[in-house]
């Protein structure tokens, strides 16, 4: 089977959503496309986990440009899963009456293009082409972030586009320098695998420059502090299913590109790539943990939690090979839990019509389903046992202590605890707090009073709750094999 076929369904779906299909079909087309993608991605992941090789059958000249190993298969599977639940969630979330057909088509066309560009990131192995699809993720999601067309949403989209593209400019130069470094050794194949092979002969100065440019450039899009300023805006203003995609898998698929540098950089120990990861990661976790305490908007709460989680992943990569398994586990648990959190936040928004934390009190009485989901999401994302994130964070901390990184591990643990209290303080008040005398209506953004959750939203919540609950107690054997292969891909 040719892996590249995974890219076809979203393209067809984007086209169909854009032309004259009946209104009722448009959301269904997206869901169907995502289900096909999920099936193909699961099959690819299954084959890779079983030790088989999946290469694209493209003919000799292009043969190296598409390659899937454990790490890319893992990212592919996560993107497909979150895209599917987000597509299902979108049906009910956008079902309110005042949405014009043009807007609906715009949403679904962009949604599918966004999924297409994200799926292409792990599939393509040629770094400059990866850079282009990273650009496409920004451009395809820009109009999704500004979808609500409010002043705030436009501001968020603008910051998102300008800062992401600014970072991408630096990253482009980094990839060109990397190409020059490879050519200086007479290397022929400019792919991730070719770079790992050529790395010991490449000029260290060029590799170091390329690494830092890409770390800073793409780190902007991952949301690493201090380049994170756009992230809470964009990840809170977009419609909730889009937030789930942005926060759950877009950030990690960009982080994946940075992770591809670590096996290459191990050939130049004097570049200290892992120290960079450790320091930048800890700064991100720490800053996000404290910023979490002062948010006013519950979607921003989860957005800052994404900054925190990206920091945890990067820290784990910096802790060395024994923490890599935990880092991969964290990527999985973050993707499933964070998308669940944004679905819960969307359900809350549908029920109360405001994003202000202070305006939501005693949600458990008004909208029990949304309240329960919000509570599970809050507990899940902050690493309460026995949920998925707990297991992965525990694995990282354990590996950190075992390798003697006491200071870094201690700081990481403290920041994780602060973030736990930061998130749960707000969530607890929203769910159980006593309603104040009168809740002032802060200009409802949606028609409030959807006290019953749309069925498709409930279905998406249930589907994404399954891995959040299951992966906390049990990691299935094929997934375990995939995680181990992915972790191994981070070392030479």
Interface with other proteins by CB under 8 A: which residues? 126, 128-129, 132, 135-136, 139, 142-143, 146, 149-152, 154-159, 161-162, 165-166, 169-170, 172-173, 176-177, 179-181, 183-184, 203, 205-206, 209, 232-233, 237, 291, 294-296, 300, 354, 356, 358-359, 436-443
DSSP string computed for 243-263 = HHHIIIIIHHHHHHHHHTHHH
Complex with other proteins: residue 359 or 487, whichever CB lies closer: 359
Beta bridge partners of 78: none
Complex with other proteins: residue 24 or 437, whichever CB lies closer: 437
Smallest distance, Å, CB 303 to other proteins?
Answer: 11
Residues 6+ apart with CB under 8 A from 323: 316, 317, 395, 396, 399, 400, 403
Token pair listed for 79: 């993107």
Smallest distance, Å, CB 216 to other proteins?
Answer: 11
Smallest distance, Å, CB 312 to other proteins?
Answer: 21
- Roughly how many angstroms between the first and final C-alpha of the chain, as a whole number? 28
Q: In 136-166, which positions are buried (b, 16+ CB within 10 angstroms) versus exposed (e)?
A: bbbebbbbbbbbbeeeebebbbbbbbebbee
- Using DSSP, state whether 353 is helix, strand or coil: coil
Complex with other proteins: residue 96 or 183, whichever CB lies closer: 183
Q: How far apart are CA 251 and CA 255, in angstroms?
A: 6
SS3 assignment for 413-458:
HHHHHHHHHHHHHHHHHHHHCCCCCCCCCCCCCCCCCCCCCCHHHH
Smallest distance, Å, CB 286 to other proteins?
Answer: 16
Smallest distance, Å, CB 489 to other proteins?
Answer: 24
Residue bearing tokens 């094929």: 478
Complex with other proteins: residue 135 or 308, whichever CB lies closer: 135
Smallest distance, Å, CB 33 to other proteins?
Answer: 22
Complex with other proteins: residue 36 or 177, whichever CB lies closer: 177
Complex with other proteins: residue 155 or 274, whichever CB lies closer: 155
């Amino acid at each position: 089977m040719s892996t590249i076929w995974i890219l076809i369904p979203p393209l067809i779906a984007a086209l169909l959503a854009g032309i004259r299909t009946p209104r009722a079909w448009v959301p269904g087309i997206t869901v169907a496309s995502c289900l096909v993608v999920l099936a193909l991605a699961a099959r690819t992941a299954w084959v890779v986990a079983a030790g088989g090789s999946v290469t694209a059958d493209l003919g000799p000249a292009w043969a190296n440009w598409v390659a899937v190993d454990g790490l890319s298969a893992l990212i592919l599977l996560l993107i497909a899963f979150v895209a599917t639940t987000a597509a299902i969630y979108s049906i009910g979330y956008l079902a309110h009456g005042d949405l014009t057909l043009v807007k609906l088509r715009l949403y679904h066309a962009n949604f599918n293009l966004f999924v297409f560009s994200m799926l292409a990131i792990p599939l393509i192995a040629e770094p400059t082409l990866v850079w282009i699809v990273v650009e496409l993720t920004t451009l395809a999601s820009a109009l999704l972030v500004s979808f609500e067309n409010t002043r705030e949403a436009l501001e968020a989209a603008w910051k998102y586009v300008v800062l992401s593209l600014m970072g991408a400019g630096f990253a482009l130069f980094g990839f060109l320098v990397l190409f020059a470094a490879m050519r200086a050794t007479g290397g022929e194949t400019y792919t991730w695998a070719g770079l790992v092979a050529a790395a010991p002969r490449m000029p260290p100065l060029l590799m170091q420059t390329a690494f830092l440019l890409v770390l800073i450039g793409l780190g902007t899009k991952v949301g690493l502090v201090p380049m994170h300023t756009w992230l809470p805006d964009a990840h809170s203003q977009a419609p909730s299913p889009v937030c789930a995609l942005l926060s759950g898998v877009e950030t990690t698929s960009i982080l994946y590109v940075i992770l591809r540098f670590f096996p290459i950089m191990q050939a130049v120990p004097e570049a200290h790539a892992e120290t960079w990861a450790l320091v930048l990661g800890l700064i991100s976790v720490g800053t996000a943990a404290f910023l979490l305490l002062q948010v006013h908007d519950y979607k921003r709460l989860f957005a800052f939690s994404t900054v925190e989680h990206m920091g945890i992943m990067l820290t784990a990569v910096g802790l060395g090979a024994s923490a890599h398994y935990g880092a991969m586990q964290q990527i999985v648990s973050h993707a499933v839990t964070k998308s669940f959190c944004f679905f819960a936040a969307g359900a809350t928004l549908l029920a109360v019509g405001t994003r202000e934390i202070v305006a939501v009190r005693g949600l458990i009485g008004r909208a029990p389903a949304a309240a329960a989901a919000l509570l599970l999401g809050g507990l899940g994302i902050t690493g309460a046992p026995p949920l998925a994130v707990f297991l992965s964070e525990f694995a990282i901390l354990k590996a950190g202590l075992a390798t003697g990184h006491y200071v870094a591990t201690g700081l990481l643990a403290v920041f994780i605890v602060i973030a736990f209290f930061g998130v749960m303080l707000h969530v607890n008040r929203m769910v159980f707090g006593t309603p104040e005398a009168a809740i002032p209506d802060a200009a409802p953004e949606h028609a409030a009073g959807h006290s019953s959750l749309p069925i498709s939203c409930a279905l998406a919540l249930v589907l994404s709750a399954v891995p959040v609950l299951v992966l906390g107690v049990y990691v299935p054997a094929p997934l375990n094999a995939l995680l181990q292969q992915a972790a191994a891909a981070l070392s030479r």
